[in-house]
A and B are shown apart, each in its own frame.
Chain A
C-alpha cells in the first residue's frame, strides 16, 4: 500500500521557469512532510520540510505547499536551473516515527 504517491514519474521544464512537483498521501496522521533530491549514484539529500500544522514553507528558490484537505503537497522551484535536474522524492512521517517515501519524480531542466 503506497501511502505517499508521486504520480508523475518525470517532468521537463525550461531553465528560468517554475518547476512544480506534486505528491499525494493517504494517511491523515502524517506529522511532517519532506522533500529530498537525489542525483544518480548518490544518497538522497534533504531539501525542505513542512509541519502538518503549516501550509507553506519557503527556503530560497524552494517552496513547499501543503493542502491537508486534499492530502496534497507540492514543491515549487523558481527559477529552475539546470543543476536542479535530479530525482525528487517526497516523504512523510507519522507521530509513531514511521517514514514513508514516494516513488520519485525525475526533473529535467532544459538550458
Chain B
C-alpha cells in the first residue's frame, strides 16, 4: 500500500513565527494537495500543485502561505507569520488519477 508521510506529527509555535510543514508524497504521483481541518470543523482545501506550480488555491491560501517541491520528493507548506487561527491539522494528499492518498497529518498549534 503506497504511503504519504508527513513531518512533524505535531508542531507548536509562537504567533508570528514561520513554520514549514513537510510531506513526502508517493513518488510517481503528479498532483499534490494541502488541506487543513480546524478542530471540530470541516476539512478545507488550501492548495493544489502540479508540474512545480500552484494549479489552484482557496481563499484561505493568502500571501502568508507558500508551497514548494524543492528536491523532487518533499512537498512543503510554509506559513510565514503564523496566527492563532492557523492552529489546525494539516493534511497533505498525493494524487494520480483516480487514486488519492492522504498523509497522517501535522497538528499545528499556534500559541
Contacts and interface: CB of A to CB of B under 8 A. Distances in A.
Interface residues of B, number: 26
Interface of A: 31-32, 34, 36, 38, 41-46, 49, 51, 89, 91, 93, 97-101, 103-104
Looking at chain B's contact residues, is the secondary structure mostly helix, strand, loop, or mixed?
A: strand
A46 to B, nearest CB: 7
Given A43-B103, A43-B104, A98-B56, A93 B98 contact: yes
B82 interface: no
Top-8 shortest CB links A-B: A43-B102, A32-B98, A103-B42, A44-B102, A43-B104, A43-B105, A43-B91, A43-B103
B45 to A, nearest CB: 7
A99 B104 contact: no
A4 B51 CA distance: 26
Given A42-B105, A97-B95, A97-B97, 19 more contacts: A32-B97, A34-B98, A34-B100, A38-B43, A41-B105, A41-B107, A42-B104, A43-B4, A43-B104, A44-B43, A44-B91, A91-B100, A97-B30, A98-B48, A101-B35, A101-B43, A101-B45, A103-B42, A104-B42
Contact of B33 (A36, A38, A99): A99
